[in-house]
Structure 1
Amino acid sequence: LFSGEGFFINRISGVGIFFVTSLGAIVQRNLKEGEQWIVDNGHLVAWTCSYTIERSGGGFISGMHAKEGLVCRFTGPGTILIQTRNPESLSAWIAGQRPG
């Protein structure tokens, strides 16, 4: 588990229609050749471009004391689908809506 969220990848291939769900809306980002985009792993839905996984935040000391997670650095060409909410922020929002 990274930054309180699971980071499991399912690979889908073939011809046809594929449906995905998300927390919040899905935003599509189309990357041009060589263009890079960094996304927190809690907001990822799907992608077609190459990526590397990196630790967010500062160095060793901040890593010991700060709440850090992982991010994915995507490099185009390709498409990234990003959800507008992550599990942690959705839980916080729901908790804030409860009466009393």
Structure 2
Amino acid sequence: MPSFTVTGEIDPFLHVSLRQKEKIFCESGAMVMMEAPLQVKGQLRGGLGRALMRRLATDESLFQQEIEAVGGDGDCLLSPTLPGSIELLDVSPGESYTLSDGSFLAAESGVEVRARMNTLGGGLFGGTGGFVIMEATGQGKLAISGFGSIFTIDVTPDRETVIDNNHAVAWSSNLQFEVGMPQTGGGFFGNVVNSVTSGEGLVIRFRGQGKVVICSRNREIFRGPGQ
């Protein structure tokens, strides 16, 4: 199977080693370098319908890159769009992950990154992808990226975990999540006022047993108004 390694401390690369006939797929434009035995091409992965669903869920192209070791073994280097860390996750039939906008970087061919309908609350609010969100299922390695540094939180059933909406990168799909305003103890109107005046905006509340991957930077603040 392909070997995934994160290389570098600041704005790292994803280093992938492939044996002949092995293949991976990655976000459009992620390939930085590849050796001669490898071949890259654009794919409507999952067909036009699923590609359109992915397009609704993210700002990515309809096409994803497929890199295959056609002429022998070879290595490639991939890089995410925004500066920041890369995290490797193990996807299995018992462990799938929901991905926030722009967090997908690459995966083994045994992983399927598909669109599914979001919860009503998640669809109406925030950066979780609107009414259509991405989920990684199947079996294999998944590489995700976050703006800034990345940290993984273990959520347990005895404690609700609250994450700022713009800092959530990915989470275990079995977790229950709800998008809303931070609780301030002042009722609905007080929560709205405090959310605006504190600059915190929306949050995601996670319950259950699983992982949440967060990043240190907020890309919406970085982009600024109107960008």
* CA shift in 2, pair 1:46/1:62, >3 Å: closer
Higher helix share: 1
Displacement of 1:57: 5.7
Q: Which amino acid in structure 1 is aligned with residue 128 of structure 2?
A: F
- Of structures 1 and 2, the one with the larger relative CO (CA 8 A, separation 6+) is 1
CA offset digits 1:16-39 (Å, max 9, x no partner)? 011101101110011222321100
* CA shift in 2, pair 1:62/1:81, >3 Å: closer
Q: Deviating runs (4+, > 4 A) in structure 1? A: none
Query: Match of 2:162?
Result: 38
* CA shift in 2, pair 1:14/1:70, >3 Å: same
Q: Secondary structure at the match of 2:166?
A: helix
Query: Match of 1:22?
Result: 146
| Counterpart among 175, 192, 217 of residue 63 in structure 1 | 192
| Counterpart among 213, 217, 220 of residue 81 in structure 1 | 213
Q: Pairwise CA RMSD of aligned residues?
A: 2.6
Q: Which amino acid in structure 2 is aligned with residue 54 of structure 1?
A: G
* CA shift in 2, pair 1:35/1:61, >3 Å: closer
Q: Which has the larger radius of gyration?
A: 2
Number of residue-to-residue matches in the alignment: 90
Q: Which amino acid in structure 2 is aligned with residue 7 of structure 1?
A: T
Consecutive unaligned residues of structure 2, counting only runs of 5 or more, are 1-123
TM-score (norm 2): 0.34
| Counterpart among 134, 139, 144 of residue 10 in structure 1 | 134
Percent identical pairs in the alignment equals: 30
**Alpha-carbon distance in 2 for matches of 1:88, 1:33:** 31
**Alpha-carbon distance in 2 for matches of 1:13, 1:85:** 27
Q: Secondary structure at the match of 2:135?
A: coil
Consecutive unaligned residues of structure 1, counting only runs of 5 or more, are 93-100
